[in-house]
Amino acid sequence: MLKDSYKLFVESAMRIPNFKVGTKEEYNDIQTLADSYLQAEANNDKQMMEAYLSALVVRYWYMIPYLHSKSETLRLEHDDIISWLYLAMIKAFEYRGWVTDKKTSAEKCINRCIDSIRLNAFQEANYDMRKINYITYSLDESIEKFGDSSEGLFVEDNNDNFDVEQLVNTKLTKKDVLSALIIDSICFNDCFSKNNFSVNKLVSGLTSNYVKVFKDRYETSNYINKEIDDLVHSKELKKKVKCKLNNLKNDKEILACFMM
């Protein structure tokens, strides 16, 4: 249970001198805890490393209900979110960006890792469930019929050889950046509400963290990066996305994928 897990992390964190639950004083400050972890690591003090790691999880405990509610389509248990937090701390200490870049902080690095893990979870779930088979039926009929929130958006996936990343790369090569973002987002990001597609969720899902993951995955050029940044910050992004979705229904490259 959630309370039992919390109790275990608190018990581990209580090894830290002056640690108090529910406080944000200097000794519970995220930066202080993160730096203390690195010091314990340098001293090869595994017990204290675990204590500082647990303390950080406790400091971020308030985010569990928020992350759970924002990830409802994944149907996760609260314990899954705890695992996200723990893994985010581990990854943050692997990268330790605040050590090499004084302009950032441990808190920012941890937040990025949490967002990255959450995005990866959506990517894996959406890829397994839907892959790319959202175009031939949905964009022709569903968007026209249901608008921003449509049901029945998918046809059954019978094509195990389809390569989403290959299609996205093809679009990027042709500098069709918006199509690339839409295809990747529908397959890998969270743009569904109870299995119903939503243009609003697709647009709101094009966050800075998602864009960073997208750029890293496809190793985009500086030119493409600028195009991406201009698009996601455009005041007419939603209008552009809806227009592009309607164009994609007759996209020959996408339709060809169903004939492989």
Question: How sure is the predictor about 43, in pLDDT bands with cuts at 50, 70 and 90?
Answer: very high
Mean pLDDT of 31-51: 95
**Quick one: which of 241, 162, 248, 179 has its CA closest to 214?**
179
Is 13 or 216 the better-scoring residue by pLDDT? 13
Sorted by sequence, the CB contacts under 8 Å of residue 96 that are 6+ apart come out as: 38, 109
**Quick one: which of 50, 44, 39 has its CA closest to 13?**
50
pTM to 2 decimal places: 0.53
Is 32 or 140 the better-scoring residue by pLDDT? 32
Question: How sure is the predictor about 34, in pLDDT bands with cuts at 50, 70 and 90?
Answer: very high
Can you tell me the distance from the alpha carbon of 258 to that of 212, in angstroms, rounded to the nearest whole number?
Answer: 30
Maximum mean pLDDT: which of 107-116, 136-145, 150-159: 107-116
Please give the single-letter amino acid code of residue 99.
Answer: V
Does the structure show a pLDDT above 80 at 15? yes
Burial 191-209 (b: 16+ CB within 10 A, else e): bbeeebbbbebbbebbeee
Does the structure show a pLDDT above 70 at 146? no
The CA distances from residue 32 to 35, 36, 88, 225, in Å, are 5, 6, 17, 35
Quick one: pLDDT at residue 72?
A: 67
Distance, C-alpha 129 to centroid of its chain: 17
Is 33 or 68 the better-scoring residue by pLDDT? 33
Mean pLDDT across the chain, nearest whole number? 78
Q: Residues 119, 213: contact at Cβ < 8 Å? A: yes
Q: What is the CA radius of gyration of the chain?
A: 21
Can you tell me the distance from the alpha carbon of 178 to that of 172, in angstroms, rounded to the nearest whole number?
Answer: 9
Quick one: pLDDT at residue 111?
A: 84
The CA distances from residue 148 to 103, 128, 140, 172, in Å, are 40, 24, 13, 25
Q: CA torsion 111→114→120→122, rounded to 10°?
A: -100
Is 86 or 74 the better-scoring residue by pLDDT? 86
Please give the single-letter amino acid code of residue 177.
Answer: V
Can you tell me the distance from the alpha carbon of 234 to that of 229, in angstroms, rounded to the nearest whole number?
Answer: 9
What does DSSP assign to residue 126? H
Neighbouring CB atoms inside 10 A of 123's CB total 18
